[in-house]
Amino acid sequence: MTHDPRPFGRLLTAMVTPFTPDGSLDLEGAARLAAHLVDEQRNDALVVSGTTGESPTTTDAEKDTLLRVVVDAVGDRAKVVAGVGTNNTAHTIELANAAEKAGAHGLLVVTPYYNKPPQAGVERHFRTVADASGLPIMVYDIPHRAGTAIATETMCRIAEHERIVAVKDAKGDLIATSWVLSRTDLAYYSGDDAATLPLLSIGGVGLVGTSTHFTGVLAKEMIEAYERGDTATALTRHRQALPLFTGIFRSPGTMLVKAGLNASGLPAGPVRSPLVDAGADELNQLRKDAAAAGIVL
């Protein structure tokens, strides 16, 4: 089946979840941040309740409320993708059905983590979730977190499902990705900010970013330049953004994004345990990385 080559646009940010000082959801802040990412950082779509959004420490009810707020805030001009992945197929289906009712435009489903299913189990998980939902699915392949990689043959088989349309690729294996791209029509989005340009060169279509809370404009210009054949400009933008593409991961990305947003007067608030708020030294280094990319925090 032929899919939209860019089902979620070119640029998505995995949005942090703003909290109030007491650790509860900052829903007004979430709406404001979502609007900033779409209107100022040029995002075509947002991922809500991904890892960067602290999905491991938010409740199902909080995920539902947050998603509805973001859809209301920007759903008329950007797609909203709900992170619903868990290591329990039945629970993932529950979250997927709730996200569809809340107005999500798509689902991000990560490889089941910790329990390390065999490839037959990985395939069944994704197919079962796709069968249970009417929304397009972006598969999240991130073996260094999940503990299990999606094998090339498995990815090609699940690509046969009409609702599995895209991949957030954080595997770090361009050869494996090349083989999948040569055999399927899946839309590949980089799950590693700094690897976006190399991924574009083998057929990728965009980025699901973390640093793009701040580098969205640069990343979008890089992708657009590459697509129009202006590889020199694409390389210039890649090199310009590289200090922050990589620097945002000196500590867990959520911690540094929230520190940078707080410093910039944008909604973020604290992180939830077991994460800890970035310290002064980490914020200072983040500012240096941002300055090297021509961005002031």
Which residue numbers are catalytic?
A: 140, 168
Strand 164-169 relative to strand 106-110: parallel, antiparallel, unpaired? unpaired
Helix (H, G, I), strand (E, B) or coil at 36: helix
Q: Which residues are annotated as a binding site for pyruvate?
A: 52, 208
CB neighbour list of residue 142: distance below 8 Å, 6 or more residues apart: 110, 111, 168, 170, 171, 191
Residue 290 CA to residue 288 CA, distance in Å, equals 5
CA–CA distance from 149 to each of 117, 172, 202, 241, 268 (Å)?
A: 10, 11, 20, 28, 32
Q: Which residues are annotated as a binding site?
A: 52, 208
What is the radius of gyration, based on Cα positions, of the chain?
Answer: 18
For the chain, the first-to-last Cα distance in angstroms comes to: 45
**Which residues are paired to 9 by β-bridges?**
7
Q: Give the position of tokens 């709730």.
A: 98
DSSP 57: G
CB neighbour list of residue 80: distance below 8 Å, 6 or more residues apart: 45, 46, 48, 67, 70, 71, 74, 103, 104, 105, 106
Tell me if 170 sits within 8 A of 194, measured CB to CB.
Answer: no
